[in-house]
Amino acid sequence: MISVKDVSKSYKDLRVLSDVSLALDEGEILALVGETGSGKTTLAYLIAGTIKPDGGEILFRGRGVSDIDRKEFAKTVGIVYQSPRDSISHRFTVFETIAEPLHIHGEFDDESRGRIESALREVQLPVDEYFLQKYPHELSGGELQRVAIARALIMKPHLLIADESTSFLDPSVQAKVLRLLLDLQNERGISMLFVTHDIGVARKVSDRIAVLHGGDIVENAPAHRVIANPEHPYTKQLIGVAKGGG
């Protein structure tokens, strides 16, 4: 579905990605693993079409992402960010937050309330008026991240990008949100790009793992193989850290 070919990206003099190539199949969960500053979020945003590469090309179902109308392409990609407290406006209620993509794409109508309630049920949140009118500061981190997931899925995207979506949550909530993401992906059959620094989490959720290190993809293989037979020393190091071996 997504094909990244020899993509490079720099911010001023800092080269973040160097000739990166990657593919994401329909319905597949690909975990993009790397340390902070390895370029994984940049690669995710390049795939989402929100930033442009300096070189190379990104194809969505055979068409160049840069050739597709940005607003139209935005409908096909849902993003769940690391911190729901930062990614959701403090002035928006739950209802307004989930309705935002509908407003942006001119699809807000009489049936929207039903769509929003359905999205809330999918993420296992209440649909009563009291909850719909709550503001972010009245919700827990887990609830807020579920609202963010509902917002990402309301336009029925083909690709869901989870950018460190569970790293800000408590371990118990983290597990529940991960389970929810996997269930939703499974039910809808959408592709998912799971960006994380934790290879342990990547192993649990993904079909395939791509390891980014210093702007290059140093490992890209099925998850079980990466964990069982890591080839690159950096991957071995990550697995060692995840196992608590340092």
Partner 1 sequence: MHIKPFQEFAKDKIGVAGLVLILFLFTTAILAPVIAPHDPWDYSASSFQQPSKEHLLGTNDIGYDIFSELLWSLRTSILFGIAVAAITCTLGLVLGVSAALIGGMYDMLVMRLADALLAIPTIMILILIAAYFKPSTTVLIIALSLVLWQTIARGVRAQTLSLKTKLYVKAANNMGAPTSYIMYKHIMPELFPLYAMGFVTKARIAVFMEAGLSFLGIFDPTTKSLGIMMSYAMRYLYLDVWFNWLLPPVFALSLLIVSLGLISYAIEEIFDPRLRRNNATPI
Least distance in angstroms from the C-beta of 133 to partner 1: 12
Of residues 41-70, those binding partner 1 (CB under 8 A): 45, 48, 50, 70
Say whether residue 105 binds partner 1 (CB under 8 A): yes
The window from 75-83, 108-116, 176-184, 214-222 that contacts partner 1 (CB under 8 A) reads: 75-83
Least distance in angstroms from the C-beta of 47 to partner 1: 12
List helix spans (H) across 109-165: 112-122, 129-132, 141-153
| Dist CA 22 CA 100 (whole Å) | 31
Q: Give the Cβ contact number of residue 158 at 10 Å.
A: 19
Q: Which two tokens stand for residue 84?
A: 């729901």
| Dist CA 9 CA 77 (whole Å) | 21
| Dist CA 38 CA 216 (whole Å) | 8
Cα 162 from chain centroid (whole Å): 2
Say whether residue 165 binds partner 1 (CB under 8 A): no
| Dist CA 138 CA 30 (whole Å) | 33
| Dist CA 77 CA 49 (whole Å) | 9
Say whether residue 230 binds partner 1 (CB under 8 A): no
* Contact (Cβ atoms closer than 8 angstroms) between residue 148 and residue 88: yes
Report the residue from 2, 46, 79, 153 that binds partner 1 according to the rule CB under 8 A: 79
Least distance in angstroms from the C-beta of 154 to partner 1: 10
| Dist CA 193 CA 170 (whole Å) | 22
Report the residue from 34, 39, 53, 101 that binds partner 1 according to the rule CB under 8 A: 101
Say whether residue 75 binds partner 1 (CB under 8 A): yes
**Number of residues forming the site for partner 1 (CB under 8 A):** 27
Least distance in angstroms from the C-beta of 71 to partner 1: 4
* Contact (Cβ atoms closer than 8 angstroms) between residue 219 and residue 209: yes
Say whether residue 73 binds partner 1 (CB under 8 A): yes
Cα 213 from chain centroid (whole Å): 19
The window from 14-22, 108-116, 130-138, 208-216 that contacts partner 1 (CB under 8 A) reads: 130-138
Least distance in angstroms from the C-beta of 74 to partner 1: 3
Kindly tell me which of 113 and 134 has the beta carbon lying closer to partner 1. 134
Say whether residue 108 binds partner 1 (CB under 8 A): no
Kindly tell me which of 153 and 238 has the beta carbon lying closer to partner 1. 153
Q: Quote the radius of gyration of the chain (alpha carbons, Å).
A: 18
Report the residue from 6, 25, 54, 104 that binds partner 1 according to the rule CB under 8 A: 104
